[in-house]
Each structure stands twice: as C-alpha cells, then as structure tokens.
Amino acid sequence: MRDVPGLIEEVQQVLRRVDPDGVLVACEIRDVHIGPSELARVADEVDRLLGRGGEPPSRLPTVLLVMDRTVIRRAGSAVKDELVAQLAQRFDLRTLVLDDGQAELHASDEVIDSATAAADGVDAIVSVGGGTISDIGKLSSVGVGGLPLVVVQTAASVDGFTDNVSVVLRHGVKRTVPSRWPDVVVADTTLIAEAPQAMNRAGFGEINSMFTAPADWRLANLLGFDESFHHGPIALLAEVGDQIEEWSRGLATGQRNSTERLVRALGMRGIATGVAGTTACLSGVEHLISHMLDISNAANGRPTGLHGAQVGVGSVVAAAAWELLFARMDAASTVPGPELTPPDPAAAEQLVRAQFGPLDPTGALAEECWPTTTTSSAPGRGIGWSYYGCFPDGNCTGKNCGHWCAHPRRSRSGCRPRGHRRDSATSTRQWNRLWPAGPCSTAA
C-alpha cells in the first residue's frame, strides 16, 4: 500500500519549504480524513474538537447537523440516517434540512440566515452534503462566532470543502465571500465513489483550471493588477497534479483509488486557494466562462450546468487562448511584460456591461459584476496563460517544479485537437525571459 502522508501534513511540509516567512495565509484545517471508511469517525472528530475524551459529560453537547433533502447512499444505506444515528448516540442532536423550494439549493441570504439561526446556542456544527451545504455550514459557523465545524463531503464535485471562502447567491449572481476553514473534513471515498458520476466528473473538470488559472494570476501580477501572486500555492498544486492522466481514467467507473486521488487533488486545490488569500490562483478565465454560463442559463430559463463541468470546458478555451497569445508572440517576437498597456478601464467596463445587457436589461447584473471585474486579477483572466503552452517540452528551470511542468504537456493531448500541435520552443524561451527566475522557483 502506498505510504501517503495526510493531506494537512503534506501541506505544512510544502509550506515550510516555499513560505518559510509565513507570508501566505495560515491553513487552519486540523485534519482532512480521506479513506474508504471515514464516515464512522464523524462523532469522534466532533468529540475531539469539543475537547472531550469520552468521559461522561455533565451536559450533552448540542450538535447541529446541516443538510439538504438529497438522499445519499453508501453501500446501500442512507448516509444521513446513519450520521443522525451516530451523532445522536453521543450528542444532543439537532437536524436542519434546508430547502429553498428550488430543484437545487442555493446559498442565498435567506438560506444562510436560517442555518445561522439554527446554529445559535449549539456547541458544534456538522454539515453533510456537497459544496453548497459545506459553504452554508461554514457561513453559519461564522455567523455564531466560529463554532467548531466538521464538513462531511459527499461528492468530489468542487474544491470548496477545504477552503476558507464560500460561494453565495447574491442578487442573482454567485459571489465568493470570506467564511472560514473547516476544522475537520471527512471524505469517505466509498460514499463519494457512489455519488452520481456526473458530479465526480465535474470535480475532474474543476481540476483542469490548475493548468491555466495560475498563469492568469501571474500575468495579472505582471500587468500590475494583482499584488497577491506567490509561488507557494502553485507548489501545493504540484503535489497533486502528477499522473492525472493515469488515475483519472478510473473516475468513469467509480474506482475508489481514482476517487481518492480526485478527492485529494480537490482538497489540495481548496487549501491552495485559502493560503493564497485569493481565488485568483485557481479561478481564471475558465471560471469567468462558467459564471457567465450560469447567468446566461438563468436568464434564459435553462437549467444550470455543474460548476466543475463548465470549468473543465472553460479550461480548454483558456488554454487555447493562451496558445493563441503564444502564436502571436512568436510571430511578433515580443514578450508580454511591464511594457504592455493594461486594458483601458472605461473600454473594459463598456465591454462587460455590453455582455450583460442582453441578459438583464435592468443593469443590475452588470452592476453586481463590474466592480469585481476591476479588482484582483480579473482583468488578467481575460487572456489565460496555459502552463502547457509555456513548457511544451518540460523545459522548466525552476527549482521546485516537480512534475508540474511536465504534466500539462501530457494532458494537453487529451483536450486539444490532433494536428494542432506546434513547436513552441520559442515560446519557452520567451517565457523564460518573462519570468527569469523560473516559473516554479520559490523566489517570490
């Protein structure tokens, strides 16, 4: 059996190496438990967080279990019933089943408020479900002063289980807001492998942004839009990007080893976002595409697609956009850098508002989106810079790249049309001029 260190142990090891001065946000997750039988440990984890060692309590601690009405099964039995039974044996258990009347629950202000109200007066919160439920659990914990929080992850569809932000629906637009790290994440791979395949495939789609978004982040930094760039989060991603083309095949048939790798990769992504202090390291142009699809579908009465699936598709577009840029760089023998003229804000605003106009004639959507489009690295997202395009030959001179540079080269063949390959040695040289210290160097 592979000797795999715990995810948090691995994170701390990497961060000690790439961020010795502690510039990045500290990861405050105590444990991420990934394995085939982890569901059984949820009550133990709550006990541990409450500082109880199994001694008879003078008062039973109160625990709130937050969930939606989706029925989830694991090896034939209903997971939520199992969890209720497990927790009720040891705690004064309250359950909250959230339902906003929609086919799919959204983390709207009303839903978050009702979860926060239910959390008032309890000692700990356990959330069981997908990304939305996890986000609501985090926000309700924050709403009552940061109560201990155990997140039970039931699918590998998104990477939000292990970060310190939440996605909320505000004025019809999904927004990422600060929330908190969970204390403990429990990812039972037997359970997750039984999740609808479309969900775990969406998780795989989500993963693909790590081959383009970090480059968007870097470019935004070079153009002066984003001061937050740091190599540390990218070094974390390098730890889970290896051999993806081998293990991902098993996702189609729900193989547990593949599911475990997916859960681990998504877990690392969430942590990378959290320590970066910005979603920009993993949310580039491909996420803008996904958000735009959400808005467009909602405005036209169509069902919303799975976030990760849309991101996966958007990642292919992002990679292609970067390669187009490289082709133009090759043709012009120029390198993007400080001499580049950033987009004119007025022209950019006009462009954004023009895109939202047909979707919402009131202008409210554009009003909600435009301010965030002008901050952080968003303008840099408009281009997308594929690591693959940068290192088609794996010729990275960075000190700590591991397999990071080589991986996108291999994965590219799966997402780009055959016959569209080209010799990008020139691009590699240009990238090295752009980033003399090496893209994977730990020198910030």
Cβ proximity to Zn ion: between 64 and 210 the closer is: 210
213 φ, ψ (degrees, to nearest 5)? -60, -40
First to last CA, the chain: 37
Strand locations in 141-287 (E)? 149-153, 165-170, 173-178, 184-188
- Using DSSP's 3-state secondary structure scheme, residue 205 falls into helix
Q: Tell me the torsion sign for CA atoms 417, 423, 427, 429.
A: positive
- Residue whose structure tokens are 């940068």: 390
Cβ proximity to Zn ion: between 82 and 206 the closer is: 206
What are the residues whose beta carbons fall under 8 Å from the beta carbon of 299, sequence distance 6 or more? Answer: 359, 360
Q: CB 388 → Zn ion: shortest distance, Å?
A: 19
Cβ proximity to Zn ion: between 315 and 424 the closer is: 315
Q: CB 208 → Zn ion: shortest distance, Å?
A: 10
Q: Are 126 and 46 in contact (CB under 8 A)?
A: yes
Beta pairing, strands 62-68 & 92-98? parallel
DSSP H or E segment with residue 74: strand 73-74
Q: How many CB atoms neighbour CB 214 within 10 A? A: 26
Q: CB 206 → Zn ion: shortest distance, Å?
A: 5
Residues 167-206 touching Zn ion, rule: CB under 5 A, are: 206
Cβ proximity to Zn ion: between 195 and 213 the closer is: 213
Q: CB 161 → Zn ion: shortest distance, Å?
A: 12
Total binding residues for Zn ion by CB under 5 A?
Answer: 1
Site string for Zn ion, 119-148 (x = CB under 5 A): ------------------------------
Cβ proximity to Zn ion: between 188 and 206 the closer is: 206
Q: CB 152 → Zn ion: shortest distance, Å?
A: 20
Q: CB 298 → Zn ion: shortest distance, Å?
A: 17
Cβ proximity to Zn ion: between 19 and 206 the closer is: 206
Q: CB 56 → Zn ion: shortest distance, Å?
A: 45
Beta pairing, strands 31-35 & 184-188? parallel
Cβ proximity to Zn ion: between 29 and 309 the closer is: 309
Q: Tell me the torsion sign for CA atoms 206, 386, 322, 232.
A: positive
DSSP H or E segment with residue 80: helix 79-88
Residues 201-240 touching Zn ion, rule: CB under 5 A, are: 206
Q: Contact residues for Zn ion (CB under 5 A)? A: 206
